[in-house]
Amino acid sequence: MSEKIKLCDLSKCTGCRGCQLACKQWNQLPAKQTVNTGTYQNPPDLQPNTWNIIRFQEISDGNGGVDWLFRHDACMHCTDAACVKVCPSGALHYTKYGTVALDSGKCIGCKECVFACPFEVPKYDPETDKILKCDMCYSRIDNDMEPACVKACPTGALMFGDKTEILKVAYERARELGGDASVYGDKFVDGTHMVYVLPEKAGIYDKLPEKPRVPLSVIAWKDWLKPLSLLAAGGVIAGSFLHYITHGPKDTSGDGDQVSKEGGE
Amino acid sequence: MKKGMIKVSDGFERIVHWSMAISCLILMITGLGMMFHSFNFLGIPVGGLKNLKLIHNFSGLAFIPSLFFAILIWWKEAGIFKFPEDLEWIMVAGGYLWHVDKVPETGKYNPGQKAFFWAVAFFGVVMSVTGLIMWFPLSFPVELVRWMYPLHALGFFVLFPFFFVHLYLGTVGVPGSVSAILTGWVTRSWAKKQCPKWLKEMEESGKLEISE
């Protein structure tokens, strides 16, 4: 099965939030009462019941004016996904399309993925004691449909398809845009399954790390300490057995031994 | 009881020892079930991994007070290295690894046991603190929480070997040891070999309890 990726061309995004709504509709995530925080961005961050949002951001255009940036934010579906690495129950897992899906029944609410994800995507729901996040509409893509957000996008900012094809489109588009435009996503964590065409420099966007990577703490924990602790535990069990059959147990019987003579008199 | 047995532990020590031992065993087994996918099946008997996590967390709550009392009652006898005799003992590995004609005499606890005390005291505190933060991570900064997990794993890496050697030397490795922590009574010959200096001091001060 070929890898599938979602392309998000921010130069075409109008911030209509059709993707945000379509996601809620398909995944049956009714919105809760929201609060006006003085921005179109609502809710303020990804939530257990909001798996993608449009981030609204104002930046100076350098000529006294203001540029308004819109960014569709959702799970990046890393190839080397820190969340899958830390998940103790296997609830977070890779699919045959390379995306990262979630088996909610297996989730034990440990929140380890919340702290592992370099994009801060998984969100904890205290009501169900579960983690929730975008699964790239696995139920749809496994039936040859696009994710709901892509289907709803009216401007073609969101595209979905085979990795090689979509990446080609992304690079062509970035070249076409010129200037600071770049492709974001295919060069780190072994390639994400959502890639952006960013019209501005990567560092400008809110909450979008310039060089995301699996945190060193996760590597130290899962790649170093886990195998080392198996080695140490196995070594000491085998060592104790070898000790017993070669050196033998200590003789603690009788009174006529050297140590007790010296000690006792 | 046989005559001439020697008392080496009191009731409180034994209660603290076993509350630590049992909570540690449960913590290690349940922790293993969450650390390795191949051990996820350990959750099945308790109705799933979520319950395994709950058992792990609440056993931790039992472990913390037992650790506190363990440090309190054993730091004087097992927490202070005495030089040079402890160093001499370490140089010959207490006679446990190769043949040694004359093993330096130890007090109630030998340097190996003292090392075990320090490993448990230090990493026990590490496990408690990191464990509590991992239980309620949303109340702490991301960068802090991230390092709690590898520290918790480091604790297991250090504690399991110490635990297993303790188990081995406390049972089949040094026959006659188990009763020291089950009933509190050991044979005189065991005490002469395992804690000669302590035995001498207790006899001299007349504090030694001998069964009649």
pLDDT tens digit string along B115-173? 999 999 999 999 999 999 999 999 999 999 999 999 999 999 999 999 999 999 999 99
CB-CB neighbors (< 8 A) of A235 in chain B = 161
What are the structural domain ranges in chain B? 6-205
The CA-CA-CA angle for residues B26, B32, B33, to 5°, reads 95
Give this complex's ipTM: 0.94
- Cα distances from B144 to residues A44, A177, A211, A212, in angstroms, run 24, 41, 20, 18
Q: Are B6 and B188 in contact (CB under 8 A)?
A: yes
pTM, 2 dp: 0.93
Rounded Cα distance, A207 and B162, in Å: 44
Average pLDDT over chain B, rounded to whole?
97
Q: Are A83 and A100 in contact (CB under 8 A)?
A: yes
> Which of A220, A244, A260 is opposite residue B193, by nearest beta carbon?
A260
How long a stretch of residues is chain A? Answer: 265
B61-103 residue pLDDT tens: 999 999 999 999 999 999 999 999 999 999 999 999 999 999 9
Interchain pair B97, A247: CB under 8 A: yes
- Report CA B38 to chain centroid distance, whole Å: 27
Interface with chain A: mutation pick from B99, B157, B165, highest number of A CBs within 10 Å: B157
What pLDDT score was predicted for residue B130? Answer: 98
Q: For A215-223, which contacts have Cβ atoms below 8 Å and span 24 or more sequence positions?
A: A215/A82, A215/A116, A215/A118, A215/B146, A217/B146, A217/B147, A217/B149, A217/B150, A218/A82, A218/A85, A218/A86, A218/A116, A218/B146, A218/B149, A220/B150, A221/A86, A221/B149, A221/B150, A221/B153, A222/A85, A222/A86
Instruction: Decide yes or no: CATH 1.20.950.20 for domain B6-205.
Output: yes
CB atoms within 10 A of CB A190: 12
Looking at chain B, list the stretches that DSSP marks H as alpha helix, in order from N- to C-terminal side. Answer: 11-35, 49-78, 85-91, 111-135, 142-170, 178-182, 188-194, 196-205
What pLDDT score was predicted for residue A184? Answer: 98
> Which of A120, A233, A264 is opposite residue B192, by nearest beta carbon?
A264
CB-CB neighbors (< 8 A) of B187 in chain A = 252-253
